[in-house]
């Protein structure tokens, strides 16, 4: 039995989901009403006339969209639950954006491409298996709750991959490199899990 010190009367900021929503909260997570802002660096300020989104790497021909071109792509609303590795989960978040499937439809993906590095204005990177980005599992969002996505939350546009921990949902995303071999990104290269499935609590490498 560990004789660990505990602070009398301390429970932390966590809340119970209530039984009707408990099954929507991954293990080890707690529910939040707010939308915490987490960052590895200063908030990039990207003017829309400088914004672009690129898909390159293992594709026949890279493709690049300007903001106007991106806005003209087929888009839809998404209502999803999101979980951050720092343990908060937010249910029923509402976004609007373009499915990654529709973005990939603009390129011819080389069969050797199995992984993606998503990269952002400001230098952030994160890696994902291609299989986690297709089939309606991921999108690039530019509206949150009906309004333009704030820069603190990743605007003008961010990647959203709701079924993985939210560090994979790269803020200020500017493109995807399609690659053959997995390349650990900013946090994955320093102790975080390569894939990050909240339902398996894949927080850290070795989990």
Partner 1 sequence: MDDSLMLDANAVAGDLAEMFGYDVTASMHCCSHCGNRGAMATLLAYIHGPGIVLRCSICHEVVVRWVRTPTRTYLDARGAAYMEVATR
Partner 2 sequence: MPEPLAWQIGTVTAVRPESAEVKSFTLALPAWRPHRAGQHYDVRLTAEDGYQAQRSYSIASAPSRTGEVELTIERIPDGEVSPYFHDVVRVGDKVEVRGPIGGYFVWEPALGGPLMLVAGGSGVVPLMAMIRERAAAGDATPTALLYSSRTIDDVIYRDELASLASSNHGLQVVQTLTRSQPPGWTGYARRIDSEMLGDVLRGLGPQPLAYICGPTLLVEATANGLVELGLPPARVRTERFGPTT
Residues of this chain that bind partner 2 (CB under 8 A): 4-14, 34
Nearer to partner 1, 53 or 167 (CB): 167
Among the listed residues 63, 3, 29, the one whose alpha carbon sits nearest the alpha carbon of residue 199: 29
Return d(Cα 73, Cα 98) in angstroms, integer: 7
**Distance of closest approach, residue 32 Cβ to partner 2, in angstroms:** 10
Q: From the CB of 134, what's the least distance to partner 1, in Å? A: 25
Please report, for residues 61, 63, 110, the alpha-carbon distance to residue 197 in angstroms, rounded to integers and kept in the order given: 31, 29, 26
- Rounded least distance, CB 84 to partner 1, Å: 8
Distance from C-alpha of 61 to C-alpha of 109, rounded to nearest angstrom: 9
The 10 Å Cβ neighbour count of residue 18 is 8
Neighbouring CB atoms inside 10 A of 138's CB total 27
Q: Give the pair of three-digit tokens for residue 62.
A: 């890279």
Taking the CA atoms of residue 42, residue 45, residue 50 and residue 52 in that order, the dihedral angle to the nearest 10 degrees is: 60
The reply to whether 36 sits near partner 1 by the rule CB under 8 A is yes
Among partner 1, partner 2, none, the one that 14 touches (CB under a kind-dependent 5 to 8 A) is: partner 2
Q: Which of 69, 71, 79, 86 binds partner 1 (CB under 8 A)?
A: 86
Nearest approach, Cβ of 6 to partner 2 (angstroms)? 5
Residue 194: exposure state from Cβ atoms within 10 A (0-12, 13-18, ≥19): middle
Q: Rounded to the nearest whole angstrom, what is the least distance from the CB of residue 34 to partner 1 in the complex?
A: 13
Of 199 and 204, CB closest to partner 1: 204
* Binding residue for partner 1, selected from 17, 32, 43, 129, defined by CB under 8 A: 43
> Could you tell which of partner 1, partner 2, none binds residue 22, using a CB distance below 5 to 8 A set by kind?
none
Find the part of the chain contacting partner 1 (CB under 8 A) among 10-18, 40-48, 111-119, 173-181.
40-48
Task: Single out the residue of 40, 72, 105, 106 in contact with partner 1 (rule: CB under 8 A).
Answer: 40
Tell me which residues in 97-156 interact with partner 1 (CB under 8 A). 123
Judged by the rule CB under 8 A, the positions of this chain that interact with partner 1 are 36-43, 85-86, 123, 167, 186-187, 189-192, 203-204, 206
């Amino acid at each position: 039995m560990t004789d660990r010190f505990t602070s009398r009367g301390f429970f932390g900021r966590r809340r119970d989901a209530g039984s009707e929503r408990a099954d929507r909260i991954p293990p080890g997570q707690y529910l939040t009403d707010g939308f915490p802002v987490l960052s590895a660096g200063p908030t990039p300020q990207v003017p829309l006339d400088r914004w672009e989104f690129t898909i390159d790497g293992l594709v026949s021909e890279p493709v690049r969209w300007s903001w106007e071109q991106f806005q003209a792509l087929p888009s839809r609303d998404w209502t999803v639950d999101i979980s951050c590795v720092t343990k908060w989960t937010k249910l029923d978040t509402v976004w609007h954006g373009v499915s990654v499937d529709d973005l990939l439809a603009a390129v011819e993906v080389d069969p050797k491409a199995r992984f993606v590095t998503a990269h952002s204005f400001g230098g952030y990177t994160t890696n994902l298996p291609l299989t986690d980005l297709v089939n309606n599992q991921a999108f690039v969002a530019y509206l949150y709750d009906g309004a333009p996505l704030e820069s603190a939350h990743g605007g003008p546009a961010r990647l959203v991959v709701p079924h993985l921990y939210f560090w994979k949902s790269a803020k200020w995303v500017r493109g995807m490199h399609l690659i053959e071999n997995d390349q650990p990104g900013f946090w994955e290269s320093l102790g975080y899990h390569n894939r990050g499935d909240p339902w398996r609590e894949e927080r850290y490498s070795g989990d």
